[in-house]
Amino acid sequence: MDILLTEPERMLQRQLRDFVQAEIAPCADEWDRRNELAYEAFQKVASVGLTGLTVPEEYGGQGGSLMDALIASIELARASVSVASIVGTHMGLALGGLYRYGNEDQRRRFVVPAAKGERLCSYALTEHDASSDISRMTTTARREGDEWIINGAKCFISNGDRADMVLLFATVDKQLGNKGITAFVVEKGTPGFSVGKIEDKLGIRAESAAELMFDDVHVPMENQIGEVGKGMRIALSILDEGRLDVAGQGVGLASAALDAAVAYSKERQQFGQPICEFQGIQWMLVDMATQVDAAWLLAYRAARLADQGQRFSKEVAQAKLFAANTAMDVARKSLQIHGGYGYMKDLPIERFYRDAKILEIYEGTSEVQKLVIGRAILS
Active-site residue list: 363
- Dist. CA 159–CA 256, nearest whole Å: 24
Q: How far is CA 166 from CA 40, 127, 163, 297, 368, in A?
A: 20, 15, 7, 33, 25
307 exposure class (CB count in 10 Å sphere: 0-12, 13-18, 19+): middle
Up-side HSE of residue 189: CA atoms within 13 Å toward CB? Answer: 1
- Alpha-carbon distances, residue 84 vs 108, 163, 215, 314, 315 (angstroms): 25, 16, 31, 23, 21
Q: Which of 332, 143, 312, 149 is nearest to 240 (CA)?
A: 312
Give the span between the Cα atoms of 336 and 342, in whole angstroms: 7
- Whether 91 and 143 have beta carbons less than 8 Å apart is answered as no
Q: How far is CA 88 from CA 73, 83, 114, 133, in A?
A: 7, 8, 13, 22
Nearest to 62 by CA among 95, 93, 86: 95
Separation CA 252–CA 79 (nearest Å): 8
Nearest-angstrom CA–CA distance, 213 and 168: 11
| Burial zone of 145 (CB within 10 Å; 0-12 exposed, 13-18 middle, 19+ buried) | exposed
For 378, the enclosing helix (H) or strand (E) is: helix 366-378
- The answer to whether 275 and 268 have CB atoms below 8 angstroms apart is yes
Q: How far apart are CA 43 and CA 45, in angstroms?
A: 6
Q: Are 274 and 267 in contact (CB under 8 A)?
A: yes
